[in-house]
């Protein structure tokens, strides 16, 4: 059960920093085989999905994250027919991938079936593409899926939970290498890599792991107001793709990402180079 302060739910991030949400209603609370799952409703952010007391997604600001984990890869890949999404059981990443007609098949490798069920019931605006006929869902340990799977993908998107507990293995170099082996050439791998303010050391170590596997590694960033620090990082590795160049326009109707961002997307702020 989430900690409560009167009408507030709060998420601890560091001993000195936490985020509070004023609750309108507690919509769902339960525990799966792997984690606590809760959905609350708020006036400011709409419905919020928590996993083990950490915010995964809110209705109001999810577009920043989901558009930015998907579209920089999809607009720069010459022919992204097969896409693997690791994690992301709420469906937001799948929804953005499905906006491209060139996509023929998406595989969602999700550990927890309950996250998908809860998201489909309570977060329909985010999970709306989980019934797309191009989607195949594989439940279970994604680290074993990428190790044993043989059919390759053009794009792999790692929309994992925080790198603790069930999600920790998905930030390891062995997992990254297994994904590299599953990528076609040309191919693109992209992962969410935590807060660039609070998680600077994690980001540095993750980039080094990526450098050990991929010849070409890029970092980019986006605002996500409800994530700790208000900004998030993504790390991309490529096989034979220059992600600074778009080969197709972004879909219409996006709220944050525009194709004009792409050329300058991978400029790293000086404080992260220290």
Instruction: Note whether 115 and 85 are within 8 A (CB).
Output: no
- Per-residue pLDDT tens over the stretch 178-195: 999 999 999 999 999 999
DSSP secondary structure of 51-103: ETTEEEEETTTHHHHHHHHHHHHHTTSS---EEEEEE-TTSHHHHHHTT-TT-
Q: Active-site residue among 159, 162, 178, 242?
A: 159
- Cα–Cα distance measured from residue 190 to residue 173, given in angstroms and rounded to the nearest whole number: 14
What pLDDT, on the 0 to 100 scale, is given for residue 238? 98
Phi, psi (degrees; rounded to nearest 5) at 210: -65, -40
Q: Active-site residue 132, yes or no?
A: no
**Whole-model pTM above 0.75?**
yes
Q: What is the pLDDT of residue 4?
A: 57
Reference 80, options 7, 6, 161, 187; nearest CA is 187
Rounded to whole angstroms, the Cα distance separating 70 from 243 reads 12
Confidence at residue 165, expressed as pLDDT on a 0 to 100 scale? 66
> What architecture does CATH give domain 62-273?
3-Layer(aba) Sandwich (3.40)
Distant-in-sequence, close-in-space partners of 75: CB < 8 Å, separation ≥ 6: 246, 247, 248, 249, 250, 259, 262
- Please give the structure tokens belonging to residue 244: 């600074």
Q: What are phi and psi of 115, to 5 degrees?
A: -60, -40
The predicted pLDDT at position 1 comes to: 53
Task: For the chain, give every residue range classified as CATH 3.40.50.150.
Answer: 62-273
Confidence of residue 169 (pLDDT cuts 50, 70, 90): confident
Tell me how far CA of residue 11 lies from CA of 56, 119, 232, in angstroms: 11, 20, 17
The residues near 88 (Cβ < 8 Å, ≥ 6 apart) are: 94, 108, 110, 157, 159
What distances in angstroms separate CA 203 from CA 17, 171, 196, one per listed residue? 19, 10, 7
Rounded distance between C-alpha atoms, residue 93 and residue 132, angstroms: 13
| 227: its two tokens | 């994530």
Confidence of residue 163 (pLDDT cuts 50, 70, 90): confident
Whether 124 shows a pLDDT value over 80: the answer reads: yes
Beta bridge partners of 101: none
DSSP code, position 240: S
Compute φ and ψ for 11, nearest 5 degrees: -115, 120
Q: Which CATH number is 4-58 given? A: 2.30.140.10
Q: Which part of the chain has CATH 2.30.140.10?
A: 4-58
């Amino acid at each position: 059960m989430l900690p409560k302060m009167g009408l507030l739910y709060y998420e601890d991030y560091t001993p000195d920093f936490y985020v509070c949400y004023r609750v309108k209603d507690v919509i769902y609370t339960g525990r799966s085989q792997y984690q606590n799952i809760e959905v609350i409703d708020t006036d400011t952010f709409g419905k919020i999905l928590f996993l083990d007391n950490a915010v995964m997604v809110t209705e109001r600001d999810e577009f920043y994250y989901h558009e930015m984990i998907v579209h920089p890869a999809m607009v720069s890949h010459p022919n992204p027919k097969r896409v693997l999404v690791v994690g992301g059981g709420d469906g937001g990443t799948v929804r953005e991938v499905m906006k491209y007609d060139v996509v023929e098949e998406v595989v969602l490798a999700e550990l927890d079936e309950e996250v998908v069920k809860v998201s489909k019931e309570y977060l329909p605006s985010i999970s709306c593409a989980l019934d797309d006929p191009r989607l195949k869902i594989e439940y279970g340990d994604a680290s074993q899926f990428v190790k044993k799977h043989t059919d390759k993908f053009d794009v792999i998107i790692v929309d994992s939970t925080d790198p603790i507990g069930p999600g920790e293995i998905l930030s390891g170099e062995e997992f990254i290498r297994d994904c590299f082996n599953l990528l076609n050439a040309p191919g693109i791998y992209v992962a969410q890599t935590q807060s660039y303010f609070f998680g600077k050391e994690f980001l540095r170590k993750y980039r080094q792991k990526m450098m050990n596997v991929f010849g070409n590694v890029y970092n980019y960033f986006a605002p996500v107001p409800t994530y700790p620090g208000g900004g998030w990082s993504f790390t991309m590795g490529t096989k034979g793709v220059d992600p600074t160049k778009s080969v197709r326009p972004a879909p219409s109707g996006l709220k944050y990402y525009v194709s004009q961002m792409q050329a300058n997307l991978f400029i790293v702020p000086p404080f992260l180079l220290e």
